[in-house]
Amino acid sequence: MSTTSTDLLAGLNPEQVRAVTAPAGPTLVIAGPGSGKTRVLTHRIAWLISEQGIPAWRILAVTFTNKAAREMRQRVEQLISTGAAAGMTMGTFHSFGVRLLRENPGLLADRLGVLRNFTIYDDADQQAILKQVIANIGRDPKDLPPRRVQSRISAYKSGLIEPADAAETAATYDDEVMARAYAEYQRLLRRANAVDFDDLLILPIKLFDTAPEVLEKYQDRFEHILVDEYQDTNRVQYVLVEALAQKHKNLFVVGDPDQSIYRWRQADIRNILDFQKSFDQAQRVDLEVNYRSTARIVAVADNVIRLNRDRIDRKLRTDNDDGDQVSIRELADQQHEADFVVSEIRRLMRDRNLNGDDFAVMYRTTAQSRVLEEAFRVSDLPYQIVGGVRFYDRKEVKDVLAAFKLIVNPNDTISIERVIENMPVGRGLGPKAMETIDQWSIVTRRTPLDGLIAVARNELDAPQLSGAARTAAIKIGAAYDELQKLEQIEPLTDLFDAVVRLTGYRDQLAHGDDDQLERWENVLEVRADMEKYDELEPGEALAAYLEQVALVADVDSLDDDSRGRVTLITLHSAKGLEFPVVFITGLEEGLLPVSRAVEAEFTDPAAIEEERRLFYVGITRAEQLLYITYVANRLTWGRYQPGVASRFLDSLPHEHVRDLGRRSTVSPRGGMSLTGRAQTLSGLSMSTLKPAPIPPKAQVRAWSAGEKIFHPKFGEGTIIEVQERRGDQELAIEFTRHGQKRLLASLAPIELITD
């Protein structure tokens, strides 16, 4: 046993040891980026089990993503044995919440009115239900956008505010409308036997309120609770954790206030800042030594985050080598930006013998990923995208999943609408027929689908419908009658085959045009996805699969087969990850900081600070090399908009920064304001950077033979001849891949390759 102890603590620095071996009681670990946070958490758990004799099943660890939970489990298993680590509860707040609900189906149904076969509604489902809500309260989605209502409801829920409280405290007309919408939303949600993401945290709390003996059971069980990324927890999560830790008070939380980036999701930074006030005699350990990044990267990160006013002053330290300077590069537009990233990665792979998976390309908004993805697609570099158009968000995937959800939960109104609208089995049933069925279902006191199943079995008279609608209604009832039976006895993939057959979806897609065939391919991927659930008991497999689908995060898709691939990822999703080489793209006003934060600059300065933290998160993902790019012109909604370099570039200390220079040509759309742009640059953002000479009035640089250039269409090439033509130059260029071309310097979108 004692040898295990030394093994466990070997290689940890004194602060890390202090955290890992912290005595019982509430503990706060403030962990700077790259300071070994995950190590501390995994070693702490291993230490608790092997040294303190805590049984694994009495440990609860909450992480931000399922991937983090998976990795943490593996790491603990490596430290002690797999057997010893078995039984630990690890997952996200949401998956843990679902688990609590699933473990108490009786109470859930009796006290909270949610049946055990509930459906988890995602963002799109919520939107759909909110449209109904807005109509029901007599409003128009045009002046009451579902998005707004949704975020308001989520804010209510995150603050544990009930519809009645919302109505009572409403101060304005808008508040009243929102409160009404909230109440109606809850009504429809419960009628569909569905829960939203917030419910997954709130319902357990309510469960505990109505059944203290259940809470006590969990309090007893979870002797040690550990929470990662504590800076991004919200009020509900705090209440849940606080309740569970009440008995043993062994709450070990790890986080970094400087990396709090989910304020918009009601994350409350006070949870971490006030931890020592909330929990008596909480100990605190600060991890400040960065082991991840070069000294220059650490210095740059520190300089950036220091500009936030609302923060605890801390200084990051590192013993690592200086490393290379951080590279800054301006490009003509996002096309050039993407090409630059691709060619630079290719160069580094060659010159520094790096692998694709050593690189990450980050961006603020998912929309930016498109152009980048395209550039990678035409290149031969393998890549993977995190947070683009999600697979599960594709229409055909949602359609087929809706058909499955309906098997488990026939009350799921949103799914039945989806199936009827989009699948052949619903043909013949329009809004009018649905209205009739809804009325009929109230009279027969069954859910519409249950009623139709009964009709198909000749147990009930069909609703008053015209011929075609009647046939369709019976057909759908018969289909689900059969699917419900099959679900109990068949493996999931066989059930899949039955679903696509009985809904007619296979016939529609598999025999359609190319477009439809592509959709069919995606639907088949769902089938492949289901294969790993075939070993589960029929009757349980589907619910487990649907739950997994509802709770996967974008980053969860990043797994073992990421080997060799460049990662394209949003800054938000990149939290917690690290890469030898990082590119942060789109460092422009309106993008990073995002426009909404810029607009709120004076009314809500915290918004810009959060953007700065996001930038900080991006910077601190890099181990060896960091590139920051921005463009002079960005194509948004089919228009080129002049880009303004981000204010955040000002805070980069110039001794650690290398300006790779600007684009040397006029942008392809013809002479967007290079001069105007240059003024903005030198006057505003680049002032602290190494001044790069901007030749006055020379909008087109003088080219000479022998120079290597890059052309977005033709790729790399070498200038072999230059002919002067009254203020312009005609260039003969030998392209590596496209042979010789003659181009006019003033028109060609070419750039000098500087290396």
Partner DNA sequence: GAATGCATGGTTTTT
Partner DNA sequence: CCATGCATTC
612 token code pair: 């700065």
- The least CB distance from residue 570 to DNA, in Å, is 4
Using the rule CB under 7 A, give the single segment among 92-100, 341-349, 656-664, 724-732 that binds DNA: 92-100
Instruction: Label residue 417 exposed, middle or buried (CB < 10 Å: 0-12, 13-18, 19+).
Output: middle
The catalytic residue among 37, 398, 405, 475 is: 37
Query: Per rule CB under 7 A, is residue 365 in the interface with DNA?
Result: yes
427 binds DNA, rule: CB under 7 A? yes
Say whether 186 is catalytic.
no
Look up residue 684 and give its DSSP letter: I
Binding residue (CB under 7 A) for DNA from 92, 325, 379, 680: 92
Q: Which is nearer to DNA, 362 or 483 (CB)?
A: 362
β-pair type (728-735, 715-725): antiparallel
- Contact between 88 and DNA per CB under 7 A: no
| Binding span for DNA by CB under 7 A among 17-25, 76-84, 249-257, 359-367 | 359-367
**Span interacting with DNA, options 17-25, 215-223, 456-464, 633-641, rule CB under 7 A:** 633-641
- Say whether 366 is catalytic: no
**Continuous segment of H or E residues that includes residue 628:** strand 622-636
Task: Verify binding: residue 62, DNA, rule CB under 7 A.
Answer: no
Residue labelled with tokens 């997952």: 91
Angle at 467 between CA 462 and CA 471, to 5 degrees: 60
Strand 715-725 relative to strand 708-711, pairing: antiparallel
597 binds DNA (CB under 7 A): yes
CB nearer to DNA: give 234 or 294: 234
**Tokens 């989806």 appear where?**
418
| Selected binder of DNA within 179, 245, 419, 553 (CB under 7 A) | 553
What is the rounded CA–CA span in Å between residue 380 and residue 389?
22
CA-CA distance, 663 to 336, in Å (whole number)?
A: 9
Extract the runs of DSSP E, i.e. beta strands, from 98-255.
119-120, 194-195, 224-227, 251-255
Q: Which stretch binds DNA (CB under 7 A): 5-13, 163-171, 372-380, 552-560?
A: 552-560
The residue within the footprint of DNA, chosen from 43, 58, 94, 475 (CB under 7 A), is 94
Looking at the Cβ atoms of 347 and 596, the one nearer to DNA is 596
Catalytic residue among 259, 366, 413, 503: 259
In three state form, how does the secondary structure of 289-302 look?
A: ECCCCCHHHHHHHH
The yes or no reply on residue 469 touching DNA (CB under 7 A) is yes
Of 215-223, 259-267, 345-353, 746-754, which segment contacts DNA by CB under 7 A? 259-267
3-state DSSP of 424-479:
HHHCCCCHHHHHHHHHHHHHHCCCHHHHHHHHHCCCCCCCCCCHHHHHHHHHHHHH
Instruction: Give the nearer residue to DNA in terms of CB position, either 104 or 573.
Output: 573
Q: Is 38 a catalytic residue?
A: yes
Amino acid at the residue 699: Q
Is residue 438 a contact point for DNA (CB under 7 A)?
A: no
Within 116-145, the residues that bind DNA by CB under 7 A are: 122-123, 141-142, 145
Q: Which residues contact 89 (CB under 8 A, 6 or more apart)?
A: 57, 59, 60, 61, 96, 99, 222
Tell whether residue 364 is a contact of DNA (CB under 7 A).
yes
Q: How far is CA 420 from the centre of its chain?
A: 30
CA-CA distance, 174 to 750, in Å (whole number)? 54
Does 439 bind DNA (CB under 7 A)? Our answer is: no
State yes or no: residue 65 binds DNA (CB under 7 A): yes
Residue 268 C-beta: closest distance to DNA, Å? 14
Residues 197-236 within binding reach of DNA (CB under 7 A):
197
723 is catalytic: no
The answer to whether the CB of 291 falls within 8 A of the CB of 33 is no
Q: Which of 106, 467, 638, 706 binds DNA (CB under 7 A)?
A: 638
Site for DNA in 310-349 (CB under 7 A): none
Q: Which residue out of 229, 344, 373, 659 is catalytically annotated?
A: 229
Let me know if 37 is a catalytic residue. yes
Of 260-268, 328-336, 534-542, 712-720, the window that binds DNA (rule: CB under 7 A) is: 260-268
Amino acid at 696: P
- Which tokens sit at 102? 């699933």
CB 317 within 8 A of CB 622: no
Q: Is 249 a catalytic residue?
A: no
User: Which residues contact DNA (rule: CB under 7 A)?
Assistant: 64-65, 92-95, 122-123, 141-142, 145, 147, 197, 261, 264-265, 364-368, 387, 395, 427-433, 468-469, 551, 553-556, 570, 572-573, 594-597, 607, 636-638
Catalytic residues: 37-38, 228-229, 259, 621
